[in-house]
C-alpha cells in the first residue's frame, strides 16, 4: 500500500505559540488530503479536506484562521495550529488519497501537547 508520513510525531509547545505539522505522501501523488483530530477515547473527527492547489474546505466548528492548511504540492500538506491553547492538545492525523486509489492512507499521527 501507499505510505504517508507525518512530522513531527510528538510536539510540546507553550500556549500562544504556533506549531506546524507536515504530511507527506511518499510514493504516490495525493490529489486530496484530509486532516483529522482525535481526543482521548474518541473517534477521529474530520477537520478539513484539501485538494492540491486549492483552498481547504473546513468542517463546521473548525476555525480556518486558527488551523491553517496548505496543500501546495501533490505530495505535501501542512497544518499550522496558530496561537495554540491547552485545549488544542490532541492527536492530529492526516490521510491522503491519490486518483488511482479507492482508500485513504493514514499518516502515523502527531501528538500535540500545549502547556
Cβ closest to another protein, residue 51 vs residue 83: 51
Q: Does 57 help bind another protein (rule: CB under 8 A)? A: yes
Q: Does 1 help bind another protein (rule: CB under 8 A)? A: yes
* β pairing state of 32-38 and 10-13: unpaired
Cell digits for 44?
477521529
Residues 68-107 that bind another protein (CB under 8 A): 91, 93, 95, 97, 102-107
Which residues lie below 8 Å from residue 43, measured CB to CB, with a gap of 6+?
Answer: none
Q: Does 61 help bind another protein (rule: CB under 8 A)? A: no
Cβ closest to another protein, residue 49 vs residue 82: 49
Q: What angle do CA 95, 105, 47 make, to 5 degrees?
A: 20
Integer Cα distance of 55 and 33 in angstroms: 12
State the residues that interact with another protein by CB under 8 A. 1, 32, 34, 42-46, 49, 51, 54, 57, 91, 93, 95, 97, 102-109, 111
Amino acid at each position: 500500500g501507499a505510505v504517508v508520513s507525518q512530522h513531527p510525531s510528538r510536539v510540546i509547545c507553550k500556549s500562544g505559540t504556533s506549531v506546524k505539522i507536515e504530511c507527506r505522501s511518499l510514493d504516490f501523488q495525493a490529489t486530496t488530503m484530509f486532516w483529522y483530530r482525535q481526543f482521548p477515547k474518541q473517534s477521529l473527527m474530520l477537520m478539513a479536506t484539501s485538494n492540491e492547489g486549492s483552498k481547504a474546505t473546513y468542517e463546521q466548528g473548525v476555525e480556518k484562521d486558527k488551523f491553517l492548511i496548505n496543500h501546495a504540492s501533490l505530495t505535501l500538506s501542512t497544518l499550522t495550529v496558530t496561537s495554540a491553547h491547552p485545549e488544542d492538545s490532541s492527536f492530529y492525523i492526516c490521510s491522503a488519497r491519490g486518483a488511482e486509489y479507492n482508500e485513504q492512507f493514514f499518516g502515523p499521527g502527531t501528538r500535540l501537547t500545549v502547556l
